[in-house]
Amino acid sequence: MQAVRTNLVAFALGPESPRPEDQSLDCEWFSSEAEILSRISRMNASVVVLDLSAGPFRTHDQLRLLLGVARCPVLVLGAAQAEPSIAHTAQISGAPRDAN
């Protein structure tokens, strides 16, 4: 039987990002979101876990970019704190009525 080895890697944006509490965790720092997306696109990852409430990706457009480059499932946490899909001022009309 062959064992499958995996590594857990955290990505951080900017040098001011907090260091992970778990010192055994690999952490990579990037200077832009584009660099993070480029790195993810070249990885052989099993899953990408994203916390929308923590950032750096917070908007739906940023999430779409991530989904476009990840070649694996993306688990999204903190979606309740993300930007709303529909503006609070939007009004949604009722269903159309039959003209008969």
Q: What is the pLDDT along the chain (100 residues), one digit of tens a residue?
A: 676 777 788 888 887 766 666 666 788 889 999 999 999 999 888 899 988 888 788 888 888 999 999 989 999 888 776 565 555 555 556 666 766 6
93 found inside a domain: no
91 found inside a domain: no
Tokens of 39: 């790195």
Q: Report the pLDDT value the prediction gives residue 94, as an integer from 0 to 100.
A: 66
CB 63, CB 52: distance < 8 Å = yes
Q: Report the pLDDT value the prediction gives residue 38, as an integer from 0 to 100.
A: 94
Backbone angles phi, psi at 33, to 5 degrees: -65, -35
86 found inside a domain: no
pTM comes to 0.68
37 found inside a domain: yes
4 found inside a domain: no
Q: How far apart are CA 62 and CA 93, in angstroms?
A: 29
Domain hosting 48: range is 9-81
The H or E element that residue 13 is part of is strand 9-13
Query: How many domains does the chain contain in total?
Result: 1
99 found inside a domain: no
Q: Report the pLDDT value the prediction gives residue 7, as an integer from 0 to 100.
A: 79
